[in-house]
Amino acid sequence: MASTRSNKGTKAKRAAAPEVEQNDAAPEAAAADPAARPLAGRVALVTGASRGIGEAIAKALADEGAAVAVNYVRNKGLADDVVSEIQRTGGTARVFQANVSDEGQVNTLVNDVIGAFGKVDILVNNAGITEDAWFQKMDFLSFNRVVDTNLGSVFSMMKAVIPNMELRGWGRIVNVSSFVGQTGNLTQANYAAAKAGMLGLTKVVALEYATKGITINAVAPGFIETEMIKVIAPKIQEMLLARIPMGRWGQPEEIAKAVLFLVRDGSYITGACLNVNGGVVTAF
């Protein structure tokens, strides 16, 4: 597979294969050392980046040179810490508060990020919640909250960001789904519906923008060691762990690596779902 690093070079080369070139908007930093920071000059917006998987993704993108907009909804302190850590390691980041289940707040968020950084090249739709209950005990409000946060947000975020990506004919969108959207899982009717819906939404929008330089993919994590897992009762945790073929929880950084791959090296991948789950789907 062609990498971003092997395609730096002449304008003629770019004209021949523009879809493979990555850093057309990259500034001097990338030109000076393109291999070290392949995303230099890019602007990334990561939803739900105050902790867990989103935090790892924000840091990984910043490590590769992207300026990162760190979105959160409630935990300003944690989001500030993520930004401070990125800045301490020489990266660029800023916090942006917004509830991504609200379309108005999404539009304001995207406008604010464009106001601060000039554009959005990379969007990672990571924000998510669970509200588990047996189906007959799950009320419609809870169903809607989970669907609005996990799926509605992806619809409005993509709508708001894509016109800006189209201006440059380049964009990378990664939607963080879940293996639960593929297999189902007891007590997660709302969450499974949202995460499965995300896969369909990803495929359709990927098709519609396939010729526009914008790739749109999903990553489907298995059980990843974040707050989402830590709140599960220890006995259930043991049961779940026993069902993971690799015998351990995944780490947020392992999801970040998959996102980075799609963003940095995925120039010919669109409408796909990358499973990162320790083998759990085949065993569930």
What residues are annotated to the active site?
Answer: 191
Comparison of 30 and 45: residue with beta carbon closer to ligand NAP: 45
Among candidates 183, 180, 159, 187, which has minimal Cα distance to 171?
159
Of the two residues 170 and 179, which places its CB atom closer to ligand NAP in the complex?
A: 179
- Tell me 133's DSSP state: -
Nearest approach in angstroms of CB 33 to ligand NAP is 31
149 binds ligand NAP (CB under 6 A): yes
Sole binder of ligand NAP in the list 22, 178, 202, 270 (CB under 6 A): 178
Count Cα atoms within 13 angstroms, Cβ side, for 60.
23
d(CA 59, CA 241): 27
101 lies in the binding site for ligand NAP (CB under 6 A): yes
CA dihedral 139, 141, 144, 148 (to 10 degrees): -140
Helix (H) or strand (E) holding 216: strand 214-221
Parallel/antiparallel/unpaired status of strands 43-46 and 92-97:
unpaired
53 binds ligand NAP, rule: CB under 6 A: yes
- 75 forms part of the interface with ligand NAP (CB under 6 A): yes
Tell me which residues in 180-199 interact with ligand NAP (CB under 6 A). none
- Residue placing its CB nearer to ligand NAP in the complex, 22 or 226: 226
Site string for ligand NAP, 223-262 (x = CB under 6 A): xx-xxxx---------------------------------
If we measure between CA atoms, which residue out of 43, 196, 213, 192 comes closest to residue 124?
43
Measured CA to CA in angstroms, residue 55 lies from 23, 268, 278 at distances of 24, 26, 21
Give the binding-site size for ligand NAP (rule: CB under 6 A).
32
Q: What CA–CA distance (Å, rounded) separates 83 from 254?
A: 20
Q: How far is the CB of 188 from ligand NAP (least distance, A)?
A: 10
Subset of residues 111 to 140 that bind ligand NAP, contact rule: CB under 6 A = 126-129
**CA 43 – CA 38 distance, rounded (Å):** 12
Q: Smaller CB distance to ligand NAP: residue 13 or 74?
A: 74
User: Under the rule (CB under 6 A), what is the footprint of ligand NAP?
Assistant: 47-54, 71-75, 78, 99-101, 126-129, 149-150, 176, 178, 221, 223-224, 226-229
